[in-house]
Chains A and B, each alone.
Chain A
Amino acid sequence: MGENFRVIDNYLMVKMPEEIDHHKSSYISENADKFIVQKQVNHVVFDFEDTKFMDSSGIGIILGRYKKIACFGGKVFAIHADNRIRHLLMISGLHKIVEIMD
């Protein structure tokens, strides 16, 4: 579990799994929240390098974490997002709150 979550300075890096659906989402959300509270990170970076499938559960994960950190000025980033994931972020309007990095 631990290897999917890393804290660098006040950034939490979350390595997203190959398939992101409802079945996997509570595990990611719960563990990310643990790190946000215990390590007091400000920002969350979602790494989609390994991700080959995502449904709206992935949007829920990002939105939920954003709500947790936004009130403290935290930001959410997406890295290694392919065209498919960018498209999903776009149609759900999440590109307005997630900074998509190349």
Chain B
Amino acid sequence: MKNEMKMEFDAISANEAFARVAVAAFVSELDPTLEEVSDIKTAVSEAVTNAIIHGYEGMEGGKVNIRCLINQDVLHVEVMDKGKGIEDIEKAMEPLFTTKPELNRSGMGFPFMEAFMDDLEVLSVPGEGTTVIMKKKIGCIPWIEDEE
């Protein structure tokens, strides 16, 4: 089974909740557990928040694009922005690293995406934008075992 969804919305913080709920609703046909839904919502929230506060740095007029693809039992989510991009992706992905401590950012955005999805890929060109690609297999034991 294959199913695809695309959406575009303004890069404003009020849309963070809408984005994660929309992706969670799209994936409901795979009958995910409550925990899987929470995992997806957290990961999407992190990616969209990054696009808004880091990609566009709160500037008006930016758009965030999300593309979701369901292929068998795997959810594929892409979150794209055309913002400033990331200079050093490896550094950006380090736990607790943040360029915006004054905004009370924890530096846990990418680590949370990594923890809650099965696969995370970040593509970025400085000055052109960033695409975050995440994958998660639904309805089975996670690929990476929980710590407990």
Q: Which of A21, A26, A59, A90 contacts B106 (CB 8 A)?
A: A59
Please classify how large the interface on chain A is, using the bins under 10, 10 to 19, 20 to 34, 35 or more.
Answer: 20 to 34
A17-37 to B contact mask, C-beta < 8 Å, 1/0? 001011101100100000000
B1-31 to A contact mask, C-beta < 8 Å, 1/0? 0000000000001101100100000000000
A64 to chain B, nearest CB (A): 4
On whether the beta carbons of A56 and B112 are closer than 8 Å, the reply is yes
Contacts of B52 in A (CB 8 A): 22
On whether the beta carbons of B104 and A21 are closer than 8 Å, the reply is no
A93–B147 alpha-carbon span in the complex (Å): 13
A60-102 to B contact mask, C-beta < 8 Å, 1/0? 1101100000000000000000001000101111000000000
B97-126 to A contact mask, C-beta < 8 Å, 1/0? 000000111111101100100000000000
Q: Which of B17, B103, B108 contacts A23 (CB 8 A)?
A: B17
Please classify how large the interface on chain B is, using the bins under 10, 10 to 19, 20 to 34, 35 or more.
Answer: 20 to 34
Kindly state whether residue B42 has any CB partner on chain A within 8 Å: yes
B93 to chain A, nearest CB (A): 13
Instruction: From B13, B103, B104, B109, name the one whose CB has the most chain A CB atoms within 10 angstroms.
Output: B104
Q: Tell me the nearest residue of chain A to B35, going by C-beta.
A: A84
A29–B104 alpha-carbon span in the complex (Å): 8
Q: Tell me the nearest residue of chain B to A63, going by C-beta.
A: B106
A57–B13 alpha-carbon span in the complex (Å): 12
A84–B37 alpha-carbon span in the complex (Å): 12
A63–B105 alpha-carbon span in the complex (Å): 9
Contacts of B20 in A (CB 8 A): 53
Query: Which residues between 29 and 63 of chain B lie within 8 Å of chain A, taking CB atoms?
Result: 35, 38, 41-42, 45-46, 49, 52-53
On whether the beta carbons of A21 and B49 are closer than 8 Å, the reply is yes
Contacts of A63 in B (CB 8 A): 104, 106
Contacts of A60 in B (CB 8 A): 103-106, 108
On whether the beta carbons of A22 and B53 are closer than 8 Å, the reply is yes
On whether the beta carbons of A61 and B104 are closer than 8 Å, the reply is yes
Contacts of A59 in B (CB 8 A): 106, 108
Kindly state whether residue A55 has any CB partner on chain B within 8 Å: yes
Binding site for B on A (CB under 8 A): 19, 21-23, 25-26, 29, 53-57, 59-61, 63-64, 84, 88, 90-93
